[in-house]
Chain A
């Protein structure tokens, strides 16, 4: 199985009462709390940690796109990706992803992904996302009822533009271009495609139709995600679509330490910061038209495996550190414990692409660096073989080969 390094690029110096006094951490977060110099320092922290992860054997360095958010300061993930593409060797660069409906014309995304693929020597994973309601409907003003149609039109245009050997005309409903001919074209003939979602049935239809990798990217862990992930696999089996576990990406917060006590000591504050300093305003979460009637119904009728009270406590930072762990929000403790818990997670939910969230909230950089080191040297080697009998067309070949050569079982045997 594959490991993808990720951090939600938080602003690390939010006032301590931010989560209680601010109505929304997205769309309208007060910009007065952020010092641009500190933002720059935070970016450098995340970049250093990703460069370290590349040298430790992660399969990709993963970035997401959010707008007007204090908890994810990555309005353009492609900018960070460009730095990584030029300064790393092995890991894939996973854009997870570009919000296609926000770019006009969307060939801008085709161009930037192709640039990154060239720059990285064919190491790009192209995640494409609808984007959250906060990003798309509120920050970028797309009428929610048009979002999915715009997304699919853009997706068709981009994929066609990567393959076309001649300039072509594109007469879409939202985009009209007489000459589509992006320079450059990507290195990879088939760029791995991912679509992260939040459980919408129509997204499942798309990933199954095109055999993309689906991603369930929450920070709520196994217990809360189980109905959606299992729902996806049941749906996929029902459609007779590809059941390959490498088609499922899942996010998990990891807090690794030499002892369980040390884990609590080192991570507890940052975990609370991560969950608590993220005030969510209901009016920005559910704009009308954003999800289909079918998905609203499915969501209303889907069983809940975590109580509303527990969820509320979790997002208010009120759970005990080990309660977060028990509910699956985090996997914490010694490498042995983390290994056993991750194994259980990925085998039970059929996950081939684990997005490990190695830095949370305002975690000090040196703790995250140690987290990287412990997980890479003592956990990943014991788990890499899971699902190894399954084909993986959802990560770049170049990265697969380089990582196998440097960090695979044979490489380990050679160095031993």
Chain B
């Protein structure tokens, strides 16, 4: 696994999925897990170099305990991008990864060429409180999908025949790390920093998302100076899974501009 050492902070071992060549695209995954080599990532890698690191504290990626707050995460991704020595990069962030991507774009505008946020966390609207993403498992599962849960959700989990508890521990570790930034309310002050985002931004939103209502996407568009809304119908929290074709085409079109 690649290792990133940040002076004065420490080392991070990173599970990194990477494929393709051309203009670089950083993908930051959501609160549940890294999707592994999911279909939408493969297709985005047809035309560009996709770099999809797993967040520290997820799966087998380490260094999470060195984060004090979300600023540390943004600076960590800045260091990671700079370590690749590729200059500007397009950034696609989903869910919790959307919160991180937006923070990164606000703090390091020189690094982010174009920004795509997909059903992103980071804001809170009093008039439309969201479902607790750590609430009753059945409620969360039902809320995520437009057409009901698929047979398997995209994941980078690799079963270990020697360890029957591995799946439970994988899930517990991932969601436990997410609580640092999303518990009890997934608002760490991003609202005050979104006006600092320079990158042209596409706010993609699966309109049937029971975790995050469409009004949250509209609020991102309102707060980011140069942002447009890309709604995807018949999709919930994972539009890249439920409407893969439309998702890839919308993102490709925006990034090609």
Contact = CB atoms under 8 A, between A and B. Distances in A.
Contacts of B68: 173
Nearest to B185: A141
B1 to A, nearest CB: 18
Interface stretch (B134-142, B197-205, B221-229): B134-142
Given A141-B184, A296-B165, A287 B179 contact: yes
B165 A297 contact: yes
A300 B180 contact: no
B175 interface: yes
A144 B179 contact: yes
Contacts of B180: 143, 145-146, 289
Contact of B179 (A173, A288, A293): A288
B173 interface: yes
B255 interface: no
Interface in B52-74: 68
Interface in A120-148: 137-138, 141-146
A145 B179 contact: yes
Nearest to B31: A288
Given A287-B134, A296-B165, A297-B165, A141 B183 contact: yes
Interface string A270-283: 00000000000111
Contact of B136 (A145, A173, A281): A281
A293 B184 contact: no
Contacts of A289: 172, 175-177, 179-180, 183
B135 A137 contact: no
Contacts of B174: 288
Contact of B137 (A137, A283, A296, A300): A283
B134 A288 contact: yes
Interface residues of A, number: 21
Contacts of A145: 176-177, 179-180, 183
Nearest to A294: B169
B99 to A, nearest CB: 14
B168 interface: yes
B165 A137 contact: no
A144 B176 contact: yes
Contacts of A281: 136
A142 B179 CA distance: 9
Interface residues of B, number: 21
A290 B171 CA distance: 13
Contacts of A290: 176
Most buried by A among B174, B183, B185: B183
A283 B135 contact: yes
Contact of A296 (B169, B177, B178, B183): B169
B46 to A, nearest CB: 35
A293 B173 contact: yes
Nearest to A149: B65
Nearest to B137: A283
Interface in A294-352: 296-297, 300-301
Contacts of B176: 144-145, 288-290
Contact of B183 (A143, A173, A282, A283): A143
A274 B136 CA distance: 25
Contact of A288 (B136, B165, B178, B184): B178
Contacts of A287: 134, 179, 183
A102 B196 CA distance: 34
A250 to B, nearest CB: 28
Interface string B180-217: 10011100000000000000000000000000000000
B136 A283 contact: yes
A138 B184 CA distance: 7
Interface in A131-172: 137-138, 141-146
Given A283-B134, A283-B136, A289-B172, 20 more contacts: A137-B179, A137-B184, A143-B179, A143-B180, A144-B176, A145-B180, A146-B179, A282-B136, A283-B135, A288-B134, A288-B171, A288-B172, A288-B178, A289-B175, A289-B177, A296-B168, A296-B172, A297-B165, A297-B169, A300-B168
11 contacts: A145-B179, A283-B135, A283-B136, A283-B137, A287-B179, A287-B183, A288-B172, A288-B174, A293-B172, A296-B169, A297-B165
8 closest residue pairs by CB, A with B: A289-B176, A288-B175, A141-B184, A143-B183, A288-B176, A283-B136, A143-B179, A289-B179
